[in-house]
Structure 1
Amino acid sequence: MFHQVANTRARTGEPASQVWSVSQVNALARELLEGAFPPLWVAGEVSGFKRYPSGHCYFTLKDETGQLSCVMWRDAARALPAEPPEGMAVHVFGYLTLYERAGRFQFVVRELTARGEGLWRIAFERARQRLEADGLLDAARKRPLPAYPSCVGVVTSIEGAAVRDIVSIIRRRAPWTHILIYPTRVQGEGAAESIVVALSQAGRAARADVLIVGRGGGSAEDLQAFNDEVVARAIACSPLPVISAVGHETDVTLADLVADYRAPTPSAAAEIAVPDRERLSTELANAEERLATALLNGVTRGGQRIERLEQQLVRAMGDALQRQRLVIDGLRHRLQALGPMEVLKRGYALALGDAGRVLRGVADFTQGSPFTLRLRDGRVEARAESVSEEV
């Protein structure tokens, strides 16, 4: 077509033998442009990035002296973890073309990678900030793990080494523990949605006491399902305590940040989830020893308390008897002070008749009757010579 155009080019001032339409010119320019430049990488800074409802993205790539209009179709844009911010330095891979309808020269981007801090890190930080603003990263909301779970749920791929390691360790450490596997994809397209579905199933079933969510090691890109904000929120909203077990010790994922406990590997998660039976046996023996010691100490303390109470009772009874003895002595002294002997000691005499009967008045005497006078220091036998009553 290019040669046809060249051969039919009109001379100056003469009408062309063939007249081209605008659309034909643009189509030819597009054909020439795409044929002349193979797909290539271009470096520059992003300006005016915008994603439209259709999913297509448009932006300008700039450097110090020029700019290049870029378009990223929906399928390619879907792979972006985050929209590049204004001024971000990037590398784009694609091809040059002409947008025929507008006659605009543009670059069709098939892949976009960040120079320096990557888009994955930007997406991670933005999601982390949103989770933090919603309080999902607060340490206070993290739940304690059950000490002795009877059932452990595992959300992971059934094809990887992670599930085999988890099952093997749980069976070795706590063979009585029931294990429920909730299969899910852990990387690639649809992995995040699959993890959310598995978490939802485990939560609705509510059979497990604790969940292990994770996968074995992999590249940073392989782990991106666990950096998906939807997955992080599903973990945070799980009704069951969650141990994250993304097998990459150096990189922390959003799943790690919101989980109730972070384990560096799936194997470590299994060890954290269940107690070791040997340790339990030792703890049980120690508990029995502590119980026996406590019982012995209780009996000893009880005996000592009874002994103290007996001593207190004896002292209390002695004190009570002493107080009563003092009261009785006081009463005795009072009675003695009022008794006849005390009266005799003051110089009085007591007249006694037959059989020691006390003669209280004149009427008890008859003339010539004998009687005895009881004095302070002895007795005097006497006889009533005369009896007269004084008025």
Structure 2
Amino acid sequence: MSLSGFHSTASSTYTVSRLNREIRSILEQGFASIRLTGEISNFVAPASGHWYFSLKDDKAQIKAAMWRGNNRYCQYKPTNGAQVEVHARVSVYEPRGDYQLIVEKMEPAGEGLLKQQFDELKMRLAAEGLFSSAHKKPIPSKINKVGVITSATGAAIKDILTVLKRRAPQLEVIIYPAQVQGKEAHLQLVEKLLLANQRTEVDVLIIGRGGGSLEDMWCFNEEPLARAIFASQLPVISAVGHEIDTTISDYVADLRAATPSAAAELVSPDQTALQQQLMQYKRALHMQALQAIKHARHYCATLEQRLKLQHPENQLLQQQQRIDELSSRLSRAFLQMQNRRNSNLDLAKQRLSHQHPKRLLQDSAQQLQQLTNALVQAIQKQQQLRQNQLALYAARLDSVSPLSVLARGYSITKQHQLVIKSVAQVDVQQPLVTRLHDGEIHSQVIDIKPY
């Protein structure tokens, strides 16, 4: 960086534009290509396609611009508050004398990149339906065995075991130890998740770890682990970090617990609750026993009543009543049958009278006369319709006839059988023939006056 090109003497007077121009030249030569990190603020993307924003840290800020020709290759969409790393050169906006960065490349920096990757994966998996409540498996109401996928030496397993020992010591816990931090951690978590599903030895799975930074917990944001949790046949509770921490595993799991201790409380019923439930079962069993005794007594009374009803004397009386009822039904049926046959005979006689040949001939003759009258009327109607159509067609033909036009006072002028439509078609002294409706007039052109 040099100021050799910038000379100021007492005899040299600068204009403002010249000063800004030379300062711009010096800055662009001295800071032609630099790498800079900072937080984006005041981001604006007008219709021109250029990006304007400020880069700042905790002590200072600088204005920046990224032209459309460069930002169209940028795969990162900047937002206010995002930490980025840029490749830029320093320049001056001469009209205002503001020095600024001309950004050529931009990419997320530090946790900003991880946050971007987190948001992109979250949106993609949500679009595929992995977070939908329709796919969430219910947590069993009765749990005998709990599987825990976490570090065997971390604070999370200690918290889980402490809570389970206090609340439900009868629960059996099976630990599937795995790394919960590092590049390969998510592969071990997926392996243990598949192993638990193959064994099917537990009723529910808890997967998680204690708190930490975003980088520490990143294995729970990996796509393979999210898809393994979604495909799990066993219900999965995600318990990663503290209450404010959120991972992809929390969204795809069947249930999210704020902490590992909270997950242990979700799968373990309280001893007081169990005792209360046991008392409820005892009261319910006592009520069922009383109901059973009551039903048994009622059944015995019913059997006793049935035995009385089946006495031989009662049976004989019932059979006699049955005979009387059948005899009465037989008499009524005979009378109904006789009446029905008489009705059928009367109906047959009536039908026979209607089917007599003389009656049929009269009906046929009447029908023939009606058809004849209808035929005559149809022929007359068609004849009248055809006459009306013929008159209409004759009138239409007459209306378009040249002779009809002539009869209304018009004429047609020809020259050698060629109809004259314009004065340009005739010459002076030229003979013409004018056709009227009742004859022709032969004339000669004396003068031509065009309009």
Percent of paired sites with the same residue:
36
**Is residue 46–residue 88 contact of structure 1 (8 Å, CA) maintained in 2?**
no
Shift of 1:222: 4.1
Q: Is the partner of 2:158 in helix, strand or coil? A: helix
TM-aligned CA distance change 1:278 to 1:297, over 3 Å: same
Measure the CA separation in 1 of the matches of 2:129 and 2:121: 13
**Counterpart of 1:150?**
144
Measure the CA separation in 1 of the matches of 2:155 and 2:254: 23
Cα shift readout 1:79-100 (whole Å, capped 9, x = no counterpart): xxxx953454554347779xxx
**Counterpart of 1:189?**
183
Q: How does 1:226-375 map to 2 (within 5 A)?
A: 226-315=220-309, 317=311, 319-320=314-315, 322-323=317-318
Measure the CA separation in 2 of the matches of 1:176 and 1:91: 50
Measure the CA separation in 2 of the matches of 1:195 and 1:46: 43
Cα shift readout 1:281-325 (whole Å, capped 9, x = no counterpart): 443343233223212211211211221342244245475354468
**Counterpart of 2:162?**
168
Question: For 1:92, which of 78, 84, 89 is the aligned residue?
Answer: 84
Shift of 1:184: 2.6
Structure 2: stretches of 5+ with no match in the other structure: 5-29, 54-62, 90-101, 324-451
TM-aligned CA distance change 1:315 to 1:231, over 3 Å: same
In structure 2, give the amino acid aligned to 1:85.
Answer: Y
TM-aligned CA distance change 1:258 to 1:108, over 3 Å: closer
Measure the CA separation in 2 of the matches of 1:305 and 1:39: 93
Cα shift readout 1:109-130 (whole Å, capped 9, x = no counterpart): 896269xxx6555544432343
**Is residue 46–residue 85 contact of structure 1 (8 Å, CA) maintained in 2?**
no
Shift of 1:261: 1.9
**Is residue 92–residue 111 contact of structure 1 (8 Å, CA) maintained in 2?**
yes
- Superposed CA RMSD in Å reads 4.5
TM-aligned CA distance change 1:178 to 1:65, over 3 Å: closer
TM-aligned CA distance change 1:323 to 1:198, over 3 Å: closer
Question: For 1:136, which of 110, 130, 134 is the aligned residue?
Answer: 130
Measure the CA separation in 2 of the matches of 1:291 and 1:230: 50
**Is residue 237–residue 263 contact of structure 2 (8 Å, CA) maintained in 1?**
yes
Q: How does 1:58-73 map to 2 (within 5 A)?
A: 66-67=65-66
TM-score, normalised with respect to structure 1: 0.54
Measure the CA separation in 1 of the matches of 2:120 and 2:107: 24
Structure 1: stretches of 5+ with no match in the other structure: 7-31, 48-59, 72-82, 98-104, 329-391
**Is residue 46–residue 86 contact of structure 1 (8 Å, CA) maintained in 2?**
no
Shift of 1:37: 6.8
The structure whose residues are more often helix, as a share, is: 2
Q: Is the partner of 2:283 in helix, strand or coil? A: helix
Q: Are 1:200 and 2:199 matched, yes or no?
A: no
TM-score, normalised with respect to structure 2: 0.48
